[in-house]
Amino acid sequence: MQLLQVQDRNQWQAYHAIRRHVLFELRGQAGYDEDHPDEHRENHLPLLFIYDDVPVGTVRLDIGLVRADPATVRLVAIIPQYQRQGIGRAMMEALERLAADRGITQLEVHAAPDAVAFYEKLGWLLVDADRAVPLLAKQIS
């Protein structure tokens, strides 16, 4: 298992295909934008999770330009046939290591309501449940 920063054309294609399918198509939403400027902003790290040489998940880590903490976890997606097998947990653990290596001590995520339990199992704390997209946070070392 490996978490890679997206760089080449094939990685970008896999990254967008996973996100489009999991976060938009399966949720009945349209309008996915592969060219969204946030994907290429300074300190935004688009990441692809590889399992047995197959791209199976995506996440983006947005690190602040003025201060690193908290960094924001965005658009976490695992291909459905790889869900509920520990792949998401492994990807998030790899993300935490990457963040810690960059000096980040706190992460936050605006999670889909159906994903809150997943984050809580990984030690994330619910900060604001009153939003349409709840806010969770986690201290890392």
pLDDT band at 66 (very low <50, low <70, confident <90, very high): low
Report how far apart, in Å, the C-alpha atoms of 81 and of each of 9, 56, 88, 102 are. 24, 9, 12, 31
Residues with Cβ within 8 Å of 122's Cβ and at least 6 positions away in sequence, in order, are 89, 92, 138
Answer yes or no: are the C-beta atoms of 16 and 34 closer than 8 Å.
yes
Q: What is the pTM of this model?
A: 0.91
The answer to whether residues 10 and 21 touch, using CB atoms and an 8 Å cutoff, is no
Fold of 2-139: Aminopeptidase (3.40.630)
Tell me the per-residue pLDDT of 18-55, one tens digit each, with 9 for 90 and over.
999 999 999 999 999 999 999 999 899 999 999 999 99
Is residue 70 scored above 80 in pLDDT? yes
Residue type, position 112, single letter = A
Give the 3-state secondary structure of residue 130.
coil
